[in-house]
Amino acid sequence: MKYFFWFIAAALVITVLAVLFVPGVDDFVEQTFQRYLGRAAS
């Protein structure tokens, strides 16, 4: 279970760094979150 939380933390850090430094990734991340949040809301 400890590795699961480490994986989540690493994925979050990689996502933040990618959004900050790689152009175009922020749109992809936004679309992905909207897709999952849309499913969760409905």
Which amino acid is it at 34? Answer: Q
Rounded Cα distance between 1 and 5, Å, is: 7
* Predicted model pTM: 0.62
Rounded Cα distance between 27 and 23, Å, is: 9
Rounded Cα distance between 18 and 23, Å, is: 8
pLDDT at 1: 83
Instruction: Find out whether 25 and 17 touch, Cβ atoms under 8 Å.
Output: no
pLDDT at 4: 95
The residues of the chain scoring below 70 in pLDDT are 42
Rounded Cα distance between 13 and 32, Å, is: 16
Q: Is 22 helix (H, G, I), strand (E, B) or coil?
A: coil
